[in-house]
Structure 1
Amino acid sequence: MTERISGKTKLIGLLGTPISHSLSPKMHNEAFSKLGLDYVYLAFDVGTEQLADVVKGYRAMGIRGCNVTMPNKVLVKEYLDKLSPAAELAGAVNTVVNDNGVLTGHITDGTGYMRALEEAKVDIIGKKMTIAGAGGAATAICIQAALDGVEEISIFNRKDEFYKRGEQMVRDINAKTDCKAQLFDLADLEALRNEMMASVIFVNATSVGMEPLVGQSVVPDVSYLRPELIVSDVVYVPAKTRLLEMADEAGCTTVNGLGMMLWQGAKAFEIWTGEEMPVGDIKELLFKK
C-alpha cells in the first residue's frame, strides 16, 4: 500500500456505522492495485449526526467520492448537488462522486442485487417478491426489481420513520411501473406469513442479522419458510445470518449479501474511475472461503 500512495493519490471513503466489518476497502483497494490506479479506499465510522460535516469536508478537500451505507443512505441526499435518475426515484444514495466540487449521488444497490440473483441462477422476473425493509437498500432493490419486470412486491416495515418512505415507494412503483406493490406493518405476522407463502423469494433488506443484531431474524421462526422459497439476505457479515440458517433448516435455496456487495461495488468503481472493476479477480478474493 505504501508503494501505491503518492502526492497525487485520490481518496474514496465509506461512510456508515458500524463499519469495521466491511469488505469494501479490501475489494476496492485490490481493484485499484490490479489496474494500477492511483486511488485509495478507506472506511470511516460516520453516523447521521456527523454526516453533514463530513460531506462538507469531502467537498472542501476535493475528495473523489464515497460509498454511503447504513444509516446514511437516505439522509445524505440532502447534502448533495445532484441525484442520478435512479437515486431520485429511490430517494436514497449509496455512491457519491465529486466532480470539481459538484457532488452527485447515485444508487447502485438495486442493479447490484439483481445482478447477484442472476449470477446465482435465480429468476424472479414475472414473479412475486416479499421483502423486509423500506430503507435505502430495500427501496433500491424494490425499484430495480419493479423496473426489471418483477410482477408483484409485498413490502414489510416497522411503523418507524421509514414507513412513510415505504408508502411513497409503493405509490411510485404502482404509478411508474407495471409492477404491483403493497406495504404492510412488519408486526402483522399473519400478513407476513401469507405473503411469504405466496412469493417465490423473501428478501431481508434490513440490518437485522448483522452487528449489533447478530443472531436475530426478521422472520419469527422456520414455520414461515418452505423448501420452494428462495431466501435472500443483503447482510454478508456474517455470511450465514440467523435467517439463512433457518432457511437452510427448511431446505430453501439461499443467497447472502456478498454478490450484491460485489456488483454494486463494481458499478460504483466505474462511476469514480471510468474503468471496469476486474470482477474475476475480486470474486476470487472475496468468495474464496
Structure 2
Amino acid sequence: MKKWYAVIGDPIAHSLSPYMHETWFKENGVDAAYIPVRVEPADLEKAFLALRTLGVSGFNITLPHKESILPMLDRLDETAAVMGAVNTVVFDGKQYAGFNTDGDGFVQSLFAAAVDLDVKVLVIGAGGAARGIAFALKRAGFADIVIANRTVERAEELAQDIDGSALTLQQAENGLGEFGIIIQTTSVGLSKDQALPISLENIKPGSIAADIIYNPMETPFLLKAKEQGCITINGIGMFVYQGAIAFEKWTGIKPDTEKMMELITNKLGGQYVNK
C-alpha cells in the first residue's frame, strides 16, 4: 500500500513542504505522497483523528498547532517533551510519536553563517518554533539567550526552561544593540504588508538577523535589518534542514539538502545566499 504524509497548519497555502518531500521521494525512489491540509485551531483534534483513521504514515505540523498537538499523540521524543512543541509525527506501525526538528534545523543553518557562540542572542516570540530553537541554541553552546514576547509571561516561562532571561518587546527594542544575533520566530512577515515584530532602529550593524519564515524570502524584518547593515538569514536553511531530519525519520534516508536549498530558492525566484 502506498504511504502518504501531510503537513497541517493554518495558514498552509504558502508551504513548500509538499514540493520538498515529493521531490525527495522521487529522487530516492520512495513510493509515497505528501499533501498540505489546512486545519483551523478549533478543528485540530478532529483533523488528527481523521489522519489516524485514514492511515497517515507521518506528518509535519506548523503554526499554530505545534504545542496543541502534544496531548493527542501516543508518545513524545524526550527532546519534544522537554521543549513542549512538536513539528514532526512518525507512525511506527502502532503509535504516533512526536518529535521536534525545528531547533536543530535552525541551528544547522545558523552555523553555516560562521556564528560566534559568545554573542548575546535575542529570540523574538515564545511559541512552538521559539521553544524548539531556544532549546537547540542552548544545546549548541550559546550561553546568553534572551526571550522577548508580546505576552511577557510566556517569555518568562520559556526563559526559565532554558536558564535564560526574558524581556518585554519594548525592552528588547531599547536594548537591541546588545545582541549579536536576533531571531524572529513569530508569524509576522508571512505577508509583505505586515508590520515588524519590533522596531529595529537600535539594531547593531554587522549583527545577524534571522527569520524562520522562508516565503517570502525577504520579510519586512529582514529587509529592514539589511537596511541597518545587518547580515541576514532567511528561513530556507532551517526549512530544508528540519525537513531532512523528518524525512530521515520517516524513510531512513538522508536526502540531498544542498540541492534542495537551491531548488527552493529558485522556485521562490531568488538566489540562495544563506552560506
TM-score, structure 2 length as denominator? Answer: 0.92
Partner of 2:228: 250
1:106 and 2:106 correspond: no
CA deviation profile, 1:175-219 (whole Å, cap 9, x unmatched): xxxxxx111222xx2x213442111111110001114x7432112
Corresponding position of 1:185: 168
Q: 1:141 aligns with which of 123, 133, 140?
A: 133
Structure 2 CA distance for partners of 1:195 and 1:154, relative to 1, 3 Å: farther
Q: CA deviation at 1:60?
A: 2.2
Cα deviation 1:68-98 (Å, max 9, x = unaligned): 0000000001100111111011100000011
How far apart, in 2, do the equivalents of 1:277 and 1:137 lie?
23
- Label 1:254 to 1:156 Cα distance change in 2 as closer, same or farther (>3 A): same
Matched letter for residue 148 of structure 1? A
How far residue 53 of structure 1 moved from its aligned partner, in angstroms, is 1.1
Q: Any conservation in 1 of the 2:236–2:261 contact (CA below 8 Å)? A: no
* Partner AA of 2:173 in structure 1: R
**Residues of 1 paired with 2:237 and 2:179: CA distance?**
22
Q: CA deviation at 1:164?
A: 4.5
Secondary structure (helix, strand or coil) at the match of 1:67 reads strand
Alignment of 1:58-69 (within 5 A): 58-69=51-62
Count how many residue pairs are aligned between Structure 1 and Structure 2: 267
Matched, 1:279 2:257: yes
User: Are 1:215 and 2:225 counterparts?
Assistant: no
SS of 2:162 mapped into structure 1 = helix
Flag structure 1 segments of 5+ consecutive residues without an equivalent: 1-7, 175-180
Could you tell me which of 46, 59, 63 is aligned with 1:53? 46
Identity of aligned residues (%): 35
For residues 124-172 of structure 1, give each alpha carbon's deviation from its aligned partner in whole angstroms, at most 9, with x where no partner exists: 423210111000000100011011110111111112xxx5543332222
The secondary structure found in structure 2 opposite 1:75 is: coil
Residue pair 1:15, 1:46 contacting (<8 A) in 2 also: yes
| In 1, Cα distance between equivalents of 2:73 and 2:14 | 27
Q: Deviations over 1:88-129 (max 9, x none)?
A: 11100000011224110000000000001122x231423210
The CA distance in 2 between the partners of 1:142 and 1:66, in whole Å, is 23
Maintained 8 Å contact 1:25/1:42: yes
TM-score, normalized by length of structure 1?
A: 0.88
Note the residue ranges of structure 2 that are not aligned, 5 or more in a row: 271-275
Q: Tell me the amino acid that sits aligned with residue 137 of structure 1.
A: A
Query: Pick from 159, 162, 176: which aligns with 1:196?
Result: 176
Shift of 1:286: 1.1
Contact 2:176 2:204 in 1 (8 A): no
Q: Secondary structure at the match of 1:223?
A: coil
